[in-house]
Amino acid sequence: MEEKEELNKQFVKLICLNILCFMIILAICGVFIFTYVRNSTYKVIDDELVRSVERIKEFDYSMENKRIENYEILDIIGEKIAEIESYEAGLFGSQEENQDENNKSTLKDFMLSREVRNPNAIVILRDENGDIINENELGRIGDVAQNIPFDKEKLGEVYEVAVANGKDYYYRMISSEIDTLDSSTFGTRYVQILINVDSEKAVIEQDFKIILTTILIGSLLSILASYLLSKNNLKDIQNNIEKQTEFVQNASHELRTPLTIIQAKQELLLQEPNAKIVDKSEDIALTLSETKRLSKLVKDLMVLTRSNNNAKLNKENVNIDEYLTNLVQPYTEIAKMQNKTINLNLKYNSDIDIDTSKIYQLMIILLDNAIKYTEEGDTIEVRSLQEGNKCVIEVADTGIGISDEGLKRVFERFYREDKARNRSTGGSGLGLSIASVIVKEHGGQIKASHNSPKGTVFSVKLPR
């Protein structure tokens, strides 16, 4: 019950953590995309504003000894002739006349506004007090030009302003101080350049809505994904806990049985201290047998523990057919004593890099199982062959075989097809688990399958 509650807590934590991670990722992506879209949309306009200011600053104000015809202003805008003539009079008149026209747009101001080549741009000229001096040139925008902010602290900076005229119109704007022909006469001049960005702002707002909608949909999907991922991860954790619990229970059971027998026999011996060894030889023999089984079990558990710690292999190059021939020979005699036959069918005939001690342990496990679970007259065959770039080693027997369910679980720790029979033959259910670990350490695969017409085949594939 406590484990279930703990798993539920972990489940909620995993969901919250996954949702948080997804939300952070979505938020970062959304901010990045929106910022990129906004900056990209305004970049062309902002660059044009900066270039316009640079052209204005480079404008040539040296008009002394030059006639207005030299600037071909009449060809540029004919309807300004009268105004230009007044500009010329103001320009080349006396110092007193210039003082009277100080707050009026001059010819230089008019020609300066023509330096802005973007047809969508609005050029506002201001005097040193910030008052507009080219209001007549502004057309319809002149009605609301007084509402356009002017801040001397933001000279040279591109920023956005809103102009109210029934509804808000949005502009990107830059302001700059400019030189004049005679600052003592005309004072300091400032220029403001504005470009309407209503359409661009509408696009940005639409993109923002799309990004926000995408984030909201992504958030909903992230909740579902978090639930599924957490459930899957929790399932793996739960399976691991169950396997660990099962492993501890099985190990405890396997250890308890021989310990119980040893303890019982030793207590019987203590109850008869004057008995002779010959009278208690069976009890002593059973105690030694269980001690050996206990020792083997502990050794197997240590092998599995070391394998989990990625023990280093000591590989050497050997001819696998010769190696198997020498390895199987002692077991051939054992099998013959039990009226069983071991045949060799070795066709690989090449060298391979292996840890000989590990492969020896692997083959002993497979041969030991084959001999245990075959009957008199049965045959065991050890084969080697090449399959692609793999060396295949097979141990096939005509014994009692394994069920379909057993073939799926035969490499699990402590799994035994028939627990009672395996215990009587000294098996603990760890041998094939160790065999699987050895093969994986070599980067290979091992599988069990049915032999025809009966029995089992264990097939090991090792890289060359």
What number is the average pLDDT over the span 252-269? 77
Candidates 172, 204, 176; CA nearest to 41 is 204
Dihedral of the alpha carbons of 313, 317, 323, 324, in degrees to the nearest 10: 70
Q: Which of 50-59, 236-245, 341-350 has the lowest mean pLDDT?
A: 236-245
pLDDT score of 136: 72
Q: In the predicted model, what is the mean pLDDT of the chain?
A: 77
**82: pLDDT strictly greater than 90:** no
Strands 168-178 and 189-196: antiparallel
pLDDT score of 342: 92
Q: Which of 71-75, 122-126, 442-446 has the lowest mean pLDDT?
A: 71-75
Higher pLDDT pick, 351 / 239? 351
Q: Where are the alpha helices (DSSP H) in 314-413?
A: 320-337, 356-372, 404-409
Q: What's phi and psi for 180, nearest 5 deg?
A: -125, 170
**415: pLDDT strictly greater than 90:** no
Peptide bond into 119 cis (omega under 30): no
Q: Are 291 and 283 in contact (CB under 8 A)?
A: no
Instruction: Give 442's Cβ-side CA count (13 Å radius).
Output: 28
Q: What span, in angstroms and rounded, lies between the C-alpha atoms of 429 and 422? A: 8
448 contact partners, CB below 8 Å, separation of at least 6: 402, 407, 410, 411, 432, 456, 457, 458, 459
pLDDT score of 346: 92
pLDDT score of 324: 93
Dihedral of the alpha carbons of 4, 8, 9, 12, in degrees to the nearest 10: 170
Candidates 184, 157, 159; CA nearest to 171 is 159
pLDDT (tens digit, 9 = 90+) per residue, 126-158? 888 888 887 776 766 666 677 788 888 888 888
Q: What is the pTM of this model?
A: 0.48
Q: Are 452 and 458 in contact (CB under 8 A)?
A: no
Strands 390-397 and 456-463: antiparallel
pLDDT band at 384 (very low <50, low <70, confident <90, very high): very high
Return the CATH number of 316-463, one of 3.40.605.10, 3.30.565.10, 3.40.50.720, 3.50.50.60.
Answer: 3.30.565.10
pLDDT score of 379: 93
**341: pLDDT strictly greater than 70:** yes
Residue 193: both structure tokens together: 């350049």
Candidates 145, 153, 175; CA nearest to 52 is 175
Q: Which residues pair with 262 in a beta bridge?
A: none
**186: pLDDT strictly greater than 70:** no
Q: What span, in angstroms and rounded, lies between the C-alpha atoms of 12 and 6? A: 10
**74: pLDDT strictly greater than 70:** no
Q: Are 173 and 194 in contact (CB under 8 A)?
A: yes
pLDDT (tens digit, 9 = 90+) per residue, 389-409? 899 999 999 998 888 888 888
Q: What span, in angstroms and rounded, lies between the C-alpha atoms of 32 and 26? A: 10
Q: Which of 94-108, 179-193, 214-228, 315-329 has the lowest mean pLDDT?
A: 94-108
Q: Are 349 and 322 in contact (CB under 8 A)?
A: no
pLDDT score of 67: 35
Higher pLDDT pick, 20 / 186? 20
Strands 121-126 and 189-196: antiparallel
Higher pLDDT pick, 414 / 44? 44
Higher pLDDT pick, 295 / 450? 450
How remote is the C-alpha of 318 from its chain's centroid? 42
pLDDT score of 381: 94
Q: Are 180 and 108 in contact (CB under 8 A)?
A: yes
What number is the average pLDDT over the span 312-317? 85
Domain locations along the chain: 316-463
pLDDT (tens digit, 9 = 90+) per residue, 13-72? 888 888 888 889 988 998 999 898 888 888 888 888 888 888 777 665 444 334 333 334
Residue 390: both structure tokens together: 């793999």
Residue 320: both structure tokens together: 């696998």
pLDDT (tens digit, 9 = 90+) per residue, 200-232? 888 888 989 998 998 899 888 888 888 888 777
Give 59: exposed, middle or buried? Use CB within 10 Å, 0-12, 13-18, 19+.
middle
- Tell me what percent of the residues of the chain surpass a pLDDT of 70: 75
pLDDT score of 86: 47
Candidates 361, 258, 279, 377; CA nearest to 369 is 361
Residue 243: both structure tokens together: 């396997």
Other CB atoms within 10 Å distance of the CB of residue 382: 23
Q: What span, in angstroms and rounded, lies between the C-alpha atoms of 208 and 70? A: 52
Q: Which of 189-193, 333-337, 338-342 has the lowest mean pLDDT?
A: 189-193
What number is the average pLDDT over the span 242-256? 69
What number is the average pLDDT over the span 90-109? 44
Higher pLDDT pick, 67 / 240? 240
Spell out a b/e string for 266-300, using b for 16 or more CB atoms within 10 Å of the CB, else e: eeeeeeeeeeeeeeeeebeeebeebeebbeebeeb
What are the DSSP E strand ranges found in 209-362? 316-319, 341-346, 351-354
Q: Are 30 and 215 in contact (CB under 8 A)?
A: yes
